[in-house]
């Protein structure tokens, strides 16, 4: 059996409150924050300056 995992890439401010709100609403969790990717836009949730690029996915 082959299972394909999907991740959502998003600009993120780094605030725990944003992460918790997303987790509660969508049941996805923060999986990876690559060091080599720079944030270029606002946080996908609150609109503040993004500090990280983050990948979110469901944990199985």
Q: Using an 8 Å Cβ cutoff, are 41 and 50 in contact?
A: yes
Question: What pLDDT does residue 50 have?
Answer: 96
Q: What is the mean pLDDT of the chain?
A: 89
- Domain segments of the chain: what residues? 8-57
Question: What pLDDT does residue 57 have?
Answer: 92
pTM passes above 0.85:
no
Confidence of residue 4 (pLDDT cuts 50, 70, 90): low
Mean predicted confidence (pLDDT) in 5-13: 89
3-state helix, strand and coil shares in percent for the chain, rounded to the nearest 5: 20, 30, 55
Question: What pLDDT does residue 60 have?
Answer: 77
Domain 8-57 bears CATH identifier 3.30.110.30: yes
- pLDDT for 5 beyond 80: no
């Amino acid at each position: 059996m082959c299972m394909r995992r999907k991740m959502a890439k998003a600009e993120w401010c780094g605030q725990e409150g944003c992460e918790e709100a997303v987790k509660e609403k969508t049941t996805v969790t923060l999986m990876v924050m690559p060091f080599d990717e720079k944030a270029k836009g606002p946080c996908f949730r609150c609109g503040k300056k993004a500090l990280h690029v983050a990948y979110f996915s469901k944990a199985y």
